[in-house]
Structure 1
């Protein structure tokens, strides 16, 4: 009995000694595995957070670019609208000016038409020679065409002819027969003259023929010149 008891105790001790280290080793392996899994999870979490930060950064950058582009687009649109409005206003002003000029032109055309009708009702119409000639040659030019140098005996006619002529031209008035006594080509005396200031002055004693010079004045624009000076002539038929 004692020997069996001792054997059992030894066997039991051996079994305890053998199982003890194995159990401790197994626990260490499990701890290492848990640590490994924990490190892997930490890496994954870190990588995930990094990706989230990158995505947020990209989103912020894209948002900034979008906002900047929208702001630039709105600014460009406003500038375009302002330029468009300025163009419209300019066109409206131009249209207004054109309309006003058209009205003035139509009024002037009607006035000239009335003057032409009045002149036609008096049995005559006007034309201008195309060549520069002396007073007598200008008169002959008119006579060759069934007319004569124009006779101006009313203010209305003087204004009308002055509005048509843009350069100096001979009219049918002279004092070639008697110095200082002006007569028209039909031998009628001058009743009303439209002389420029200081005219007629017979400068140099050789100014016997009369010209109309619209550059001097709209109404009073007659001037005596030498009959040999060349001018175009205003003819009346």
Structure 2
């Protein structure tokens, strides 16, 4: 059989001669799908970029808040109504190192003469701290400003030892009567006053 004979028997599907709706050829369908996909890609990209911007804005805002919080609380600065500022150390030191820590910050260990101040300090201190009272010179208890102790807020049975010459405030012992004498070489945090 001849190749011409085979093609003679195949019906001719010429779209010009066929009544009814015309369909697009394959290359036209690809172009339309490409445009449709392109639009969706553009919308999806825009939405993703918008979400990334929002997430970055939230992240930057949280970082700013975190940095501000850390800056304000790093030294745990507390303001007394009498315009006195208190600062608590973040690290534990002996009494002499604690005093130097305060002096390096243009302050000194806290001096407590009144019950009001004692209650105020005890209200925000959550752990044991050195205060500015000692008898390092083996005489009377003396504040860091060289004034003598007139009235103390001692825990029951304190002071109790001749070799414990520095004083801590321990809020775990109560809100008012919470002073304890310790050896000055012990390491605890301190509270400074400016």
Residues 1:225 and 2:178 are matched in the alignment: no
User: What runs of 5+ residues in structure 1 fail to find an aligned partner?
Assistant: 1-114
DSSP-derived class of the 2:159 partner: coil
Please give the residue correspondences for 1:67-86 in structure 2 after superposition, counting only pairs within 5 Å.
none
User: How do residues 26-175 of structure 1 correspond to structure 2 at under 5 angstroms?
Assistant: 116=79, 118-120=81-83, 124-175=84-135
Q: Deviating runs (4+, > 3 A) in structure 1?
A: none
Partner of 1:195: 154
Q: Once the 2 structures are TM-superposed, how far is the Cα of residue 218 of structure 1 from its aligned partner?
A: 1.1
In the TM superposition, residue 117 of structure 1 has moved relative to its aligned partner by 5.1
Residue correspondences, number = 117
Counterpart in 2 of 1:185? 144
Deviations 1:15-59 (A, max 9, x none): xxxxxxxxxxxxxxxxxxxxxxxxxxxxxxxxxxxxxxxxxxxxx
Cα deviation 1:97-119 (Å, max 9, x = unaligned): xxxxxxxxxxxxxxxxxx94532
Q: Distance in 2 between matches of 1:116 and 1:141?
A: 19
Structure 2: state its 5+ residue gaps.
1-77
Q: 2:168 aligns with which of 208, 211, 218?
A: 211
- Secondary structure in structure 2 of the residue aligned to 1:224: strand
Aligned to 2:32: none
Q: SS where residue 102 of structure 2 aligns?
A: helix
**Root-mean-square deviation over aligned CA pairs:** 1.3
TM-score normalised per structure 1: 0.48
Q: Distance in 2 between matches of 1:191 and 1:118?
A: 23
Q: Please tell me whether Structure 1 or Structure 2 has the larger radius of gyration of its CA atoms.
A: 1
Normalising by the residue count of structure 2, what TM-score does the alignment of the two structures yield? 0.58
CA distance in 1, matches of 2:138, 2:173: 27
